[in-house]
Amino acid sequence: MGRLDGRRALVTGASRGIGAAVAERLAAEGADVVVTARTREQHDHLPGSLLETQERLTRYGTTVGMVVADLTDPDARARIVPEAVRLLGGPVEILVNNAAAAVYQPLVDFPLRRRHVIFEANVHAPFDLAQAVAPAMVAAGEGWIVNLSSGSTRPDEGPPFARGARYAAMAVYGASKAALDRLTNGLAAELYGSGVRVNTVQPRAAVLSEGAAELVGATLRSDQVESMEEMVEGVVALCDCPADVTGRVTVSLDLIAEWGLEVHGLDGAPRS
């Protein structure tokens, strides 16, 4: 029996990377899962698609559905939760907001259009989805909302600024994730006592998903990378945490150490 048998979950950005990995682990733990992203069949240049994720999840024998939607489009994301509820046969009990837009470039000429896309994907979309699932969670007396954040929320110390121009170029992305952290904490405080847990988790080191590998993979040392399984372990721990674990901004590897967690494979089996 899986620890999440019969739970209903929605995972965003699940065509590849961390989202696809989290969705697989949730299914392996017995959850019924709806995955959502823009890419149904094939991305222009990155591997992975919702169809591939769905096919991988079906081997666990749970209900698997998908909703194709662009999270930067308010009208498109407004239909995600209702469609997920229909596919799952009941309200969403676990929401994992993984989808994100990342553009790194100098700030003095950072285009407004790109700033809008980043904040739509990284702030407004997860907050809209949280608002959409929260009433049913409150009515049920429990629910888990997990938002994926980033270490880029932390400002560089200086002057001089040790991390340099490359870290400065992450500032818009980092600012969007800092906003998500603050909204997470605020929503958790507002819902405290209802049984709804709202938390964020970020990697301590880079997780080389397909997108991250393309953006920064070539610049990283091995000690600057953590495994996909470690990141997923941190996420799943917050999909099954007690009611008093809420409003936290956590780090995957720190959470694993704090709670003495064993890291499992995406199929739920302990890693050798």
Give the pLDDT of the chain (272 residues) as one tens digit per residue: 689 999 999 999 999 999 999 999 999 999 999 999 998 877 666 778 999 999 999 999 999 999 999 999 999 999 999 999 999 999 999 999 999 999 999 999 999 999 999 999 999 999 999 999 999 999 999 999 999 999 999 999 999 999 999 999 999 999 999 999 999 999 999 999 999 999 999 999 889 765 554 555 455 555 567 999 999 999 999 999 999 999 999 999 999 999 999 999 999 999 86
- Whether the full predicted model's pTM is greater than 0.75, yes or no, is yes
Domain range for residue 44? 8-259
The answer to whether residue 268 sits within a structural domain is: no
The answer to whether residue 210 sits within a structural domain is: yes
Longest dimension (CA), the chain: 56
Whether residue 60 lies in the annotated active site: no
CATH number of the domain where residue 28 is located: 3.40.50.720
Catalytic residue among 60, 104, 167, 173: 173
The answer to whether residue 167 sits within a structural domain is: yes
The answer to whether residue 3 sits within a structural domain is: no
What would the two tokens of residue 30 be? Answer: 């017995």
Give the residues across from 152 on adjacent strands. none
Whether residue 177 lies in the annotated active site: yes
CA gyration radius, the chain: 18
The answer to whether residue 16 sits within a structural domain is: yes
223/220 Cα distance (integer angstroms): 8
Per-residue DSSP letters for 25-89?
Answer: HHHHTT-EEEEEES-SS--SSS---HHHHHHHHGGG-S-EEEEE--TTSHHHHHTHHHHHHHHHT
The answer to whether residue 133 sits within a structural domain is: yes
Catalytic residue among 60, 104, 167, 177: 177
The answer to whether residue 208 sits within a structural domain is: yes
The answer to whether residue 272 sits within a structural domain is: no
- Identity of the amino acid at 254: D
Look at residues 12, 18, 57, 60 and name the one whose alpha carbon lies nearest to residue 35: 12
Q: How many domains does the chain have?
A: 1
